[in-house]
């Protein structure tokens, strides 16, 4: 199967007529709330979300098609659990809003001897890098907990180079109606452990103007989705152009 072949469920996902206007989730979160959640779970994040979600992380890196010299932005770097997975011949910047998570990320980077990655405290909806700065922009397990997933996706597109890859690894609401109902019911509770359970994938893609080349189910149970996009020369979204912001240092 070709790497970017559309999976059988993709036409159904993209065909929803009201996706561009409907609410993404029954749960609304604020930036301060998100930061507070991750401050609280920083100490147990690796134990809770480490091994169980690791296969998805490995598969995401495979889908990136990383080349020597690539610049990679990891949005929602957390405790830096991906740091040792990147090839040594690329440059990686990780951003996160949680100071506690970043502290653990810096400790991991030092402990593992990772020389090609740095982490910065930054809001994913306001990325302080110029347009077209990265070859790959990757958001692992973060889109479903940020206050404005569409704003984050637009920023990811903005800082990605034309022809670059945008990779989103996340839990989305099930396409099965019964399971989707359960997702909606538990979402107000799961947000307290780091994610909303009912984020609407078709609505997210439509509102962010993302056109995925592949959507794959990953991890066990297979309730997590790996979404891979490539930014066209014209950009995936017409609304993200604007003046370049100063580069973070």
DSSP secondary structure of 91-144 = EEEEEES-HHHHHHHHHHHHHTT--SEEEEE--TTS--S-TT-EEEEEEES-TT
Q: Are 135 and 71 in contact (CB under 8 A)?
A: yes
Q: Quick one: what percent of the chain has pLDDT higher than 90?
A: 65
- What pLDDT, on a 0 to 100 scale, did the predictor assign at position 89? 98
The whole domain housing 181 covers 10-230
Cα distance between residue 106 and residue 102, in whole Å = 6
Q: Give the model confidence (pLDDT) of 207-220 as tens digits.
A: 999 999 999 999 99
Q: Would you give the DSSP letter of residue 147?
A: S
φ, ψ at 53 (rounded to 5°)? -105, 5
- pLDDT of 15 strictly over 80: no
- What pLDDT, on a 0 to 100 scale, did the predictor assign at position 41? 76
- pLDDT of 92 strictly over 70: yes
Q: Which two tokens stand for residue 65?
A: 């098609």
* Helical (H) or strand (E) element with 230: strand 224-230
CB-side exposure of 2: number of CA atoms within 13 Å?
6
- What pLDDT, on a 0 to 100 scale, did the predictor assign at position 79? 95
Of 208, 217, 214, the closest CA to residue 235 belongs to 208
Contacts (Cβ under 8 Å, ≥6 apart) of 86: 61, 66, 72, 92, 114, 116, 117
Q: Does 201 reside within a domain? A: yes
Cα distance between residue 246 and residue 232, in whole Å = 24
- What pLDDT, on a 0 to 100 scale, did the predictor assign at position 5? 40
- What pLDDT, on a 0 to 100 scale, did the predictor assign at position 161? 97
Which region among 7-21, 31-45, 97-111 has the lowest average model confidence (pLDDT)?
7-21
pLDDT band per the 50, 70, 90 thresholds, residue 13: very low
Of 145, 151, 92, the closest CA to residue 120 belongs to 92
Residue 55, domain CATH: 3.40.50.150
Domain count, the chain: 1
Q: What angle do CA 95, 224, 156 make, to 5 degrees?
A: 30
pLDDT band per the 50, 70, 90 thresholds, residue 239: very low
Q: Does 106 reside within a domain? A: yes
- pLDDT of 118 strictly over 90: yes
Q: Does 31 reside within a domain? A: yes
- pLDDT of 248 strictly over 80: no
Torsion of CA 173, 175, 181, 185, to 10 degrees: -10
- What pLDDT, on a 0 to 100 scale, did the predictor assign at position 191? 78
Which region among 40-44, 153-157, 165-169, 202-206 has the lowest average model confidence (pLDDT)?
40-44
Higher-pLDDT residue of 104 and 243 is: 104
What does the mean pLDDT of the chain come to?
86
Rg of the chain (C-alpha set)? 17
Cα distance between residue 111 and residue 105, in whole Å = 10
CB-side exposure of 236: number of CA atoms within 13 Å?
28
- pLDDT of 185 strictly over 60: yes
0.85 cut: is pTM over it?
Answer: no
- pLDDT of 74 strictly over 90: yes
- pLDDT of 186 strictly over 60: yes
Query: What does the pLDDT average to over 240-244?
Result: 38
pLDDT band per the 50, 70, 90 thresholds, residue 235: low
Contacts (Cβ under 8 Å, ≥6 apart) of 123: 31, 97
Query: What does the pLDDT average to over 10-21?
Result: 58
Residue with tokens 């890859």: 165
């Amino acid at each position: 199967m070709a790497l970017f072949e559309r999976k059988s469920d993709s036409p159904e996902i993209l065909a929803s007529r009201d996706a561009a206007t409907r609410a993404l989730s029954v749960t609304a979160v604020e930036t301060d709330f998100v930061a507070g959640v991750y401050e609280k779970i920083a100490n147990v994040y690796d134990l809770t979300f480490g091994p169980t979600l690791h296969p998805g992380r490995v598969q995401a890196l495979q889908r990136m098609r990383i080349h020597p010299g690539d610049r990679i932005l990891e949005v929602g770097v957390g405790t830096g659990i991906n740091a040792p997975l990147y090839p040594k011949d690329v440059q990686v910047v990780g951003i996160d809003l949680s100071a506690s998570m970043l502290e653990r990320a810096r400790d991991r980077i030092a402990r593992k001897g990772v020389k090609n990655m740095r982490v910065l405290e930054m809001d994913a909806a306001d990325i302080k890098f110029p347009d077209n700065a990265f070859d790959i922009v990757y958001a692992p397990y973060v889109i479903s907990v940020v206050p404005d997933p569409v704003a984050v996706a637009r920023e990811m597109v903005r800082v990605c180079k034309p022809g670059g890859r945008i990779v989103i690894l996340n839990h989305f609401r099930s396409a099965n109606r019964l399971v989707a109902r359960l997702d909606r019911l538990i979402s107000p509770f799961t947000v307290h452990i780091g994610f909303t359970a009912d984020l609407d994938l078709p609505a997210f893609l439509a509102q962010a103007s993302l056109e995925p080349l592949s959507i794959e189910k990953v991890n066990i149970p297979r309730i997590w989705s790996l979404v891979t996009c490539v930014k066209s020369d014209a950009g995936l979204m017409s609304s993200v152009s604007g003046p370049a912001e100063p580069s973070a240092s």
